[in-house]
Structures are given as structure tokens and as C-alpha cells.
Amino acid sequence: MKRIGDVFEELSKSVPLFSEIKVRLIVSEWREIVGDLIARHTKVKKVENGVVYVLCDDPIWMSELSLQKRKILEKLNKKAGENIFRDVVFRRG
């Protein structure tokens, strides 16, 4: 018998709805992925075509996080268990 997580993983690769659910579940763990300090100054606005759009409360945070983009992208994809995220865009908001 397969575990529910394994079934969900298989479905997320073949059914777009399950893929979208997987993306939303991962993004809902933003605080856990980036840590409390960054999470206090950011909010995920949306994810579209593998691009995560993040709102920052200050231009200084936008600059700092732009330098950490690759690290954040790696953490997101590690959480996903595959490379489903291809970019992170930081915007003032």
C-alpha cells in the first residue's frame, strides 16, 4: 500500500491541480523556509510559472534579499523535492 504523500507526489507530477496545491503548500511555509527575520519583512504575493513574487516592506530588504536569491531558491526547491521554482522576484510592497 502506498503512503498518501507518495500518491500526492505522483499526482502533482501529472495533474496540474495537484501541482498547484503542492506549490501553495510549500509557499505557505515561507516563514519556516526563510526564517522569522526575513518573514517579518516579506510576504509571498503569488507564484506564476515557477516564479515566486515576494513583497518586501523596505527597499533595503529588497536589496539584501536579491543577494540571497539563489539561496532562497535552493531552499524552496529543496522543500519541494524537485526544481519547480525557477526564480524569485522581490518587489516593494
Task: For residue range 34-84, list pLDDT tens digits in order.
Answer: 999 999 999 999 999 999 999 999 999 999 999 999 999 999 999 998 899
Strand ordering across the sheet containing 51-56: 42-48, 51-56, 87-92
Domain 4-92, second-level architecture: 2-Layer Sandwich (3.30)
Confidence of residue 15 (pLDDT cuts 50, 70, 90): low
- For 29: left if phi > 0, alpha if psi spans -120 to 50, otherwise beta; the answer is alpha
pTM: 0.82
- Burial (CB count within 10 angstroms: exposed 0-12, middle 13-18, buried 19+), residue 9: middle
Q: Which residue bears the cell 526575513?
A: 38
Distance CA 40, CA 37 (A): 5
